[in-house]
Structure 1
Amino acid sequence: APQIQAEQDLVTGPVPLTPIQHWFFAQDFARPHHVNQSLLLDVDAEVTTEQWQQILRKLLEQHDGLRTRFVRQNGTWQAELTDPPPELPWRTHDLSTIPAHERHTRLLEIAGKTQSSMNLAEPPLIRAALFTGVCEHESTGSGGHESAGSGEVGPEGHKSSGPEGRTHRLLLVAHHLVVDTVSWRVLLEDLGTLVEQARRGQEPQLPAKSSSWRQWAERLRQEAATTTTLDELTYWHEQTQATHPL
C-alpha cells in the first residue's frame, strides 16, 4: 500500500491563505470574527470531563487548521498555525440545578457567549461547551444551532444516560474560515472515534493525516498558478461579466 506523505507531527508556522479564505477577507464583513458555524450534539454521558479534555486536545493536534491565527498587517491578512493552547477553549455547564422551564433559555445564553468569544487573532478557532444534567425528553436545539440528535456521537449510535435519565449535550462552535459542511463530517467522524476509545478506556488515537493544512494550502496556491487554471480563470471571468445581478 502507498505510504501517506503528509506531515504527521504538530504543524505550526506561517501558512498561505486558501482561495476561499482570500474570498472571505475580500468581502470585508462588518463582523469578521463571528461568521461561525455550530452543532449541538447528543453525547455519551459516560465520558468524563477529563476524557473530553483529552478528546478535544487530540482534535486540535490532528486538525492543524483549527489552530490558525489570522491577523491583518499593512492591510493584508496573514495566517499562522499555532501550538494548542495550555487551556482548551471549553467549559462544562451543569443544568441540573436550573428549573426545567429555564434550561432552554440558559443554554441559549451560554451558546451566545460562546459564539461571541471568537476572535480571529486568538486561536484555536473552535469553542466547545458541555451541558450536563439535561433531561432526555427536553428539546434544547436552537435556531442558530444544528442539533445532531439523529447522529449521536458514540459507537454505533450508542448514547448512555446519566442519573435520573439525564444526558449530556456538546456545543461545538467553529469559525467558517476553518470549517465547512464537508470538514464538519471529518471532525465528527474523528470525534466519534475518540469517544468510543474513551468509553473503552483507551488512549486517544486517530489515523494518519491524509494531508496537513499547510500542505493543502500550498498545493492550492501552486494549482492556482498553473497555465491550465489561469486559462480557466479567463473563461470564468468572461462568463460572470455576462451575468446580471437578480
Structure 2
Amino acid sequence: MTDHVQTLRTLFAEVLGVGVEPGHSFTGLGGDSIQAIQVVSRARAAGLAVSTRDVLRSESVTALAAAARAHDRARDDARPTAPPRALGPLAPTPIMRWLGELGGPVDTYNQSLVLLTPPGFGAAAAERAVQALLDTHDMLRLRLPAGIGATDGTGAAGAEPVVPPAGSVAAADLLEHVDARDTAQEALPALTRERMRAARRLLSPRDGHMLRAVLLDRGPARQGRLALVVHHLVVDGVSWRILQDDLRSVHAALAEGRDPAPAPVRTPFAHWADLLRADATSGRRTAEAGRWAAALRPDPHPLAGVRAPGGLDPESAEHTHTLTLGPEVSGPLLTTAPGLVNGSVNDVLLTALALAVLDWRRADADAAAGPDEDGAVLVDVEGHGREDVADGLDLSRTVGWFTTVFPVRLALGRPDLDDARAGGPALGAALRLVKEELRAVPDKGIGFGQLRHLNSRTGPDLAGRGIPEIGFNYLGRFPMGGRADWDAAPGHAFALDDADDGLPMAHAVEVNAAAHEGPDGLTLSATWTWAGNAYPAERVRELARAWFTMLRAVAAYAERPDAGGLTPSDVPLAQVSQADLDSFESQLGALL
C-alpha cells in the first residue's frame, strides 16, 4: 500500500506540477479529466491499474491507492479472452461523420506540436522514433480511400476508412530532415513554421499519410526541434500527451541501446468504433433521444437557440480574437473555484459563459424578440470522449479523435447579472445550477453523437432540430515555457484545429480555451472564431470581454467566506433539492 501511495504521489506531481501529500485529492489539486487520463496511462506503465473515474472521484491519494489494488484484480478478471480488433475497415465514428457533414475540404485538416529534441538527436534517431509511433498507434496509419462516411447524419452506409497493419507506413517517407546548425536561435521559430506549412500540404489521407514530421537538427551540442503535423481525424488533445510521453520513452530506449517500443495499446480505436456503432441502437442510448430533442428546442434569442445546418462562412484569420487571463485570476479560477461546488473546470467556464451571454444579449436591441423567462443559453460542448461505456476498456494509451460534441441547455432563470459581475451570491447560485445540469448529462454526452450520426431511427429527427449557435471547447492544461528535452518548444503553442481553406464553420461563434502552465503560473487563453456572415466582429469581441469579466468575478467570488456549497448530486441518497440544501447550510451557518 505504501508503495502504491508513493507511486501515485509521484505521478500526480509529474502531471500537475505541484507538491502532493497522501491526503490530497486529484481534483482538489486542480486536476481535470484530461490530466486524469495521463495519470491512468502512467500508472499502467508503473504497474498500477486505475480508471479515470477512480482518479477523479477518490478523496485522497491513499484512497486511490486502495482502489488501485482492487481495481487491478477486477481488470484481470474482466479481460477478454480474444484480443480486440485493431485492423481493417473502421466504422466512422460520430465525430468523423460530424466533420463530413460540414461539406468542405478536409485533406489537410490538422493539429500540430513542436517539441524540443535532445542534442545530437539526428535523422536516424528521428526516423526510428517516428516509426515507433506509427507502428504502435494504428490510427496514425489510417487510409481514407473514398471519404469519411455518410454525410447525411443518419448513419447510412458510406465508404469506410481502413487501418492497415504495422509496418505498412514508412517513417522515412514522412520525415523531413532540416540541417539547422547554422540557423540563428531567433530565426528558428520562423524556419520551423515555414517547414510546417510545407509539411501540412503533404498530408494525404487517401495515401495513408496522416502524419508529417520535420526534424530541425541543431547538431551534437544544442537542442533541436521535432515538429509533428497530424491530420485531425487521427489525433486529439489527449493523443498529443500520449505521443509526447512515447517520444520520451522511445528516446530513453534508444539512448540505452534498447528496442524503441512504447507500451502497448490495450483498446484499439477500431474496437472502440465498433462498440460505439453497436451501442448507438441499444435501449439505454435510444432512451436518451427525448432528452436531446428537448435540449434542441427552438429559442428566439441570439446565441440561445439553434440554427439550420449550413450557410456559414468558412473560418478566417480576420474573424478570430484571442484574449488571455493572467495568473492572478487564472490560478484561483482553475484550481480553487471548481472545488467550491465539488465541480470541474468546465462547470466554472460554462457558468461564466452563460452569464456573459445573458448580459451580452440584455444590451442587444434584438433581445426584445421574445420572452426570456428561463434565461436559457444553448451551447454545443466538446468533451474528450474517452468514457467508460463498456467493461474492460482502457483508452488511456489509445491515439485517435475521440471528441464528443453535445448540446447543453443552461437555464439560469433571471439571475441578478449586476450581482454576478460583482462576484456576489448570484454567481454562486448560477455555478450550482450549471454544475447540476452538466452532471445530469448521461455519460458526459457521448450518446448524442451516437444517436445523431449512427442511429438511422433517431438521426433524422435530431438533425432536423438544428445546431446550437455557439460551440465551446476547453482543451485542458498544457505545460509551456519548459526547457527540458521533449517539452513543447518555446514560440510554438499547442496548435488549435488548422482547417482547410473553404471548410465552413460548424457554429456561428466558437470558443476554444486552454490553460498554459508557465514559469509565472497558470494563464487561460481563449480564442474566439466566428462566421463573418453570422455576427459583426465588434459584437463578438464584446461577448469575449463579457466572458472574461464574469471569469474575473468567479475568481473574486472564490475569495468569499460563504462561497460554494453542496448541490443535490453531492448527496444523491438524501434526495433533497437545491433549495433545501441552501436552507440547511444557511441554518447551520447561523448556529456556528
Fold-level similarity (TM above 0.5): yes
Report whether the alignment pairs 1:22 with 2:97.
Answer: yes
Is the contact between residue 37 and residue 173 of structure 1 (CA under 8 Å) also seen in structure 2? yes
Q: For residue 112 of structure 1, what is the aligned residue in structure 2?
A: 197
In terms of Rg, which structure is larger? 2
Quick one: which amino acid aligns to residue 72 of structure 1?
A
Is 92-101 or 105-114 further displaced after alignment? Answer: 92-101
SS at match of 1:37: strand
Matched, 1:90 2:165: no
**1:162 maps to amino acid:** P
Paired residue secondary structure (1:236): helix
Matches within 5 A, 1:1-246: 1=73, 2=76, 5=80, 7=83, 11-29=86-104, 31-72=105-146, 76-83=158-165, 84-86=168-170, 87-98=172-183, 102-133=187-218, 162-163=220-221, 166-242=222-298, 243-244=305-306, 245=469
Change (3 A) 1:207 1:101: closer
Q: Deviations over 1:56-101 (max 9, x none)?
A: 1111111111111123369734210124324441111012234666
**Structure 1: any 5+ residue segments left out of the alignment?**
134-160
Larger strand percent:
1
SS in structure 2 of the partner of residue 127 of structure 1:
strand
Contact 2:93–2:276 at 8 Å: present in 1 too?
A: yes
Shift of the alpha carbon at 1:173? 0.7
Structure 1 contact 15–80 (Cα < 8 Å) conserved:
yes
Letter in 2 for 1:82: P
Q: CA RMSD in A?
A: 2.5
Once the two structures are TM-superposed, the CA of residue 103 in structure 1 deviates from its matched residue by: 4.2
Distance, in Å, in 1 between the alignment partners of 2:130 and 2:110 is 18
Residue 139 of structure 1: aligned partner:
none
How much does 1:110 deviate? 0.9
Q: Is the 8 A contact 2:88 2:162 kept in 1?
A: yes
Contact 1:53 1:88 in 2 (8 A): no
Pick 1 or 2: higher relative contact order, CA cutoff 8 A, min separation 6: 1
Structure 2 unaligned runs (5+)?
1-72, 151-157, 299-304, 307-468, 471-592
Equivalent AA in structure 1 for residue 94 of structure 2: P
Measured at CA, do residues 181 and 46 of structure 1 come closer, stay the same or move farther in structure 2, by a change above 3 Å? same
| Count of aligned positions | 215
Query: What do residues 155-193 of structure 1 show as CA deviations (whole Å, max 9, x unaligned)?
Result: xxxxxx833xx2210000111111111111112122211
Distance 1:124 1:106, change over 3 A: same
Aligned twin of 2:56: none
- With normalisation by structure 1, the TM-score equals 0.77
Q: Tell me, yes or no, if the aligned pair for 2:134 and 2:169 is still in contact at 8 Å.
A: no
Aligned-partner Cα distance in 1 for 2:201–2:264:
33
Determine the C-alpha separation between the residues in 2 that align with 1:52 and 1:100. 21
Distance 2:267 2:100 in 1: 24
Mapped to 2, the partners of 1:199 and 1:54 lie a distance apart of 12
